[in-house]
Amino acid sequence: MLNRTQKFGRFGEDLATRSLVKKGYQIICRNYRTQFGEIDIVAKDADTIVFIEVKSRRTPTFGHPKYAVTGDKQERISKAALYYLKMTNQSQVRARFDVVTISEHNQQTDVEIIKNAFELAYK
């Protein structure tokens, strides 16, 4: 059973997916899990593989959701993305990292797609 926070996170990922499809993205998979971490959404935008992190916030108490994609989070996503590309024999394709933020305020939900939100982060 999902708690309230998990339900809102799932709602955010569903809303992000619908918004991406409306923008022309082709969804390849959701919740791609590896030993390095998870990628919320893997999609294709024209000839580019896009690794997408979704961040949802119900209140502005902890700031804008985009600030929750920290350097450590970027590194985990980067490692998982490199693993995905290797496992699918796509190491030579164009790829990028996007972030989709879901914010609720005044009973309104805002969706923002941030293309090229960060570069490959790998130590």
pTM, 2 dp: 0.92
**Quick check: is 123 in a domain?**
no
Residue 53 CB coordination number (10 Å): 25
Quote the domain boundaries for residue 67.
4-118
**Which CATH number fits the domain that encloses residue 105?**
3.40.1350.10
Contacts of 9 (CB under 8 A, 6+ apart): 54, 56
For 40-88, what is each residue's pLDDT tens digit? 999 999 999 999 999 988 767 677 788 889 999 999 999 999 999 999 9
C-alpha count within 13 angstroms, C-beta hemisphere, residue 102: 22
For 91-100, what is each residue's pLDDT tens digit? 899 999 999 9
> Do the Cβ atoms of 48 and 98 come closer than 8 Å?
no
